[in-house]
Amino acid sequence: MAIFSKTCEYAIRAIFFIAHKASAGARVGIKEISAGIDSPEHFLAKILQDLSRKGIVQSAKGPNGGFYLDEAALKRPLADIVEAVDGNGIFIGCGLGLKQCSEVNPCPLHNDFKMIRNQIHDLLQRTAISEFNEDLNLGIASLKK
């Protein structure tokens, strides 16, 4: 088990890629993105369509069209992508899968997991999409393989 679904992994990598490539109003096509992050092209297209509907990413059809991120989108925290794709289960769900788990009716691991969930949430909340552009430019960080 990974932390995120495959869909969400592709989504994050794709958004990073777009943020990195499509600076200053340029647009990136789905072929370039899927090649750039090593993901199945049509599957990624579906994911970006969905994120586009939700306003996480912007898109334009036709020649010179493609995906891009406006000012607001670039500033968004990673948490927004994760929540749009995987929902908030990772932030609030019970580690043992109990529906009613809560402070008053906790599972044995409730408190331990609360800490970890909060850390994941904090991390994703304080990290903006555009934050890795420099590392990607410098080739310090990778989105492929």
**Where does this chain bind DNA (CB under 7 A)?**
5-7, 10, 27-31, 39-43, 45-46, 48-49, 52-53, 59-67
- Binding track over 79-108 against its own copies, x by CB under 8 A: -------xx-xx--x-xxxxxxx---xxxx
Calculate ∠ Cα 29-129-43, nearest 5°.
40
Name the helix (H) or strand (E) containing 51: helix 41-53
User: Which two three-digit tokens encode residue 145?
Assistant: 């393989």
| Smallest distance, its own copies to C-beta of residue 21, A | 14
Q: Rank residues 65 and 108 by Cβ distance to DNA and give the closer one.
A: 65
| Smallest distance, its own copies to C-beta of residue 86, A | 4
Residues 6+ apart with CB under 8 A from 86: 4, 5, 7, 8
78 within 8 A of 31, measured Cβ to Cβ: no
Q: Cα–Cα distance between 51 and 81 in angstroms, integer? A: 8
- Contact footprint for its own copies (CB under 8 A): 1-6, 8-10, 12-13, 16, 86-87, 89-90, 93, 95-101, 105-110, 112-113, 115-116, 119-120, 123, 127, 131-132, 135-136, 140-145
